[in-house]
Amino acid sequence: MKSSNIRPSRFHKNPFLHELNFTTAQKIQIGLMSVTVFPVRLLLVCFFMLLAWPFAFVALLGRSEFAVEPQTCWRRIVDVCLRVLMRAMWFCGGFHWVKVKGEKADPSEAPILTVAPHSAYFDAIPVTNTMCSIVTKLEGKSLPVWGTLMSYIRPVFVYRSDQDSRKKTVEEIKRRVTSGGQWPQFMIFPEGTCTNRSGLVLFKVGAFIPGLPVQPVILRYPNQLDTVTWTWQGPGGLKILWLTLCQVHNSMEIEYLPVYTPSEEERENPALFANNVRKLMAKALDVPLIDLSFDDRDICLSKGPLGIFNFSSLLEFNQLVCRLGQKAATNSSKMEEEATKACKLQGEWLSVESFAQCLGLPVSDTLKQVHSMFDQNEDGNIDYRHYVIALLTVCRPTKPKENLKLAFKMYETQEDGNVVEDDLATILEIMLGVEDMCLSGLFLSLEEDTGKITYDEFCQFIDQHPDFVSNYIRFKDHPSTLCLGRAKNSNGSEQKKTD
């Protein structure tokens, strides 16, 4: 599968991965504080959270989720009480002081604050300091105590897997921020997910669709040991809480940058608006831009014997199929249907028009880009099986064996269920995101090298050899040695092979 290399293949640091390494001194400190300071801090944090709960609960009585709420005197008192109690809670958690640079803009000047990078649940500190509304997952509403406190700031709840919910969320944000200051100021984390702060991933455009001025806000945690980062692969929430409460002091900096007023072009193009604000924030943070999104996280975290090695082409493909709407409508039965369809085509080469007909879509620039990624011979034709394997990989990167089973189904012979060496190489090239696969090491290691293998035999082999990728196959840019090449590549053209 070809790539235009517009997406990163590998990263200096995977933004969705966080690893902690402790020195001996740090281990001793954590051990001592675990039996002394930690229980006291945890008790105090819980105490102040519980103390704040009645104020939020009373303030929520009789409140409508959609109606504007007058700021009466008693509500202002509740607001002040909650800010004080929340600040006391964070103080007990080791955030004794929080350094603030710049000034928060008035809601009339910037109705939306865009905050990044988003990396921890301690990012709630600026929210509780300002009592701004936020966009958050619907599941948070049902959390004991914290769900009530969260509801007090009048958030917009979103259900991530529901496409209609996302649309309604954008509409609700637009309704509130164009109300002339009647609703609280919004504090939005446009990355839409937690990362390890190694760079800024792509911003979601929800905060930028209204086309109103925004104030960028950047967060820093300048601690020697990063115990606060909570992302998709690394320490869990409870472990992070324990480690953070075992630190003598936890530093945090909040910097309010100047208000960013969009140009006419940016108002018409929210994606451009979002990207320009992201560039500005990345420059202030002195971190790189990482062209990945929330939807890319599972691909980036793929691991195991069949884990993705090179992300470049698959990330680009993932972006394109999302634009076509093919990924959103994909489930297990749909994948079975696509594999069956590919089997019936029996390796028939498809033009752009035939490919569009197979997908039930009109010919578009995006569809042409997808088609060109599999046009290995550069003759305007592709093998539909290649597309299906790539779709399986990006839709279910955490289920490589299930994907492999369907891939075998598309290539295996009806007589004995075998797949020949070249076809297996093609499958693995796409699943791993690599080129010029050589499987001679694998087949020479089998009891009988017949040049073909069944799904069960291959799964048994990789189960017995978890170092399968490093020791038994070779490909271009392999980490241990140069690829030897194979007799023929996936499109049938000749390849040089060295003994």
302 and 384, same domain (yes or no): yes
Q: Is residue 32 one of the residues assigned to a domain?
A: yes
C-alpha span between 489 and 326 (Å, rounded): 28
Q: Is residue 370 one of the residues assigned to a domain?
A: yes
HEC per residue, 93-160: CCCCCCEEECCCCCCCCCCEEEEECCCCHHHHHHHHHHCCECEEEHHHHHCCCHHHHHHHCCCEEECC
What is each CA distance from 326 to 320, 387, 388, 487, in whole angstroms?
A: 9, 12, 11, 34
312 and 283, same domain (yes or no): no
Phi-psi category of residue 19: left, alpha or beta, with phi > 0 → left and psi -120 to 50 → alpha: beta
Structurally, how many domains does the chain consist of? 2
Taking only the tens place, the pLDDT of each residue in 461-480 is: 998 888 888 888 888 888 76
250 and 333, same domain (yes or no): no
Predicted pLDDT of residue 62: 76
332 and 419, same domain (yes or no): yes
Q: Is residue 499 one of the residues assigned to a domain?
A: no
Structural tokens at position 352: 């752009």
Taking only the tens place, the pLDDT of each residue in 366-387 is: 999 999 999 988 899 999 999 9
Task: With a cut of 90, say whether residue 189 has pLDDT above it.
Answer: yes
36 and 82, same domain (yes or no): yes
Kindly report the CATH number assigned to the domain that includes residue 37: 3.40.1130
Best-predicted range by mean pLDDT (64-78, 121-135, 301-315, 439-453): 121-135
320 and 266, same domain (yes or no): no
Phi, psi of 63 (to 5 degrees): -85, 140
Residue % of the chain over a pLDDT of 90: 55
Confidence category of residue 357, pLDDT binned at 50, 70, 90: very high
The domain boundary residue, chosen from 259, 291, 323: 291
Q: Is residue 16 one of the residues assigned to a domain?
A: no
319 and 456, same domain (yes or no): yes
Taking only the tens place, the pLDDT of each residue in 198-221 is: 999 999 998 999 999 999 999 999
Residue type, 296: D
Predicted pLDDT of residue 160: 62
Task: With a cut of 50, say whether residue 494 has pLDDT above it.
Answer: no
Q: Is residue 92 one of the residues assigned to a domain?
A: yes
Taking only the tens place, the pLDDT of each residue in 237-295 is: 999 999 999 999 999 999 999 999 999 999 999 999 999 999 999 999 999 999 888 88
Burial 279-292 (b: 16+ CB within 10 A, else e): ebbbeebebeebbb
C-alpha span between 369 and 349 (Å, rounded): 17
Helix and strand numbers, DSSP H then E, in the chain: 20, 11
User: Which residues, at least 6 apart from 184, have a Cβ–Cβ distance to it below 8 Å?
Assistant: 107, 131, 132, 133, 153, 154
Predicted pLDDT of residue 5: 52
Q: 327-331, long-range: CB within 8 Å, 24+ apart, which pairs?
A: 327/295, 327/391, 327/394, 327/395, 328/163, 330/391, 330/395
Angle at 383 between CA 382 and CA 389, to 5 degrees: 120
Give me the chain's average pLDDT, please.
Answer: 87
Q: Is residue 487 one of the residues assigned to a domain?
A: no
The domain boundary residue, chosen from 253, 272, 291: 291
185 and 306, same domain (yes or no): no
Task: With a cut of 60, say whether residue 29 has pLDDT above it.
Answer: yes
Residue type, 50: L
Q: Give the HSE-up count for residue 474: Cα atoms under 13 Å, Cβ half-sphere.
A: 13
268 and 132, same domain (yes or no): yes
Confidence category of residue 11, pLDDT binned at 50, 70, 90: low
Structural tokens at position 182: 């009647």
304 and 215, same domain (yes or no): no
373 and 462, same domain (yes or no): yes
Q: Is residue 427 one of the residues assigned to a domain?
A: yes
Range of the domain at 147: 24-291
Q: Is residue 10 one of the residues assigned to a domain?
A: no
Predicted pLDDT of residue 489: 42
The domain boundary residue, chosen from 291, 319, 347: 291
C-alpha span between 298 and 397 (Å, rounded): 6
274 and 364, same domain (yes or no): no
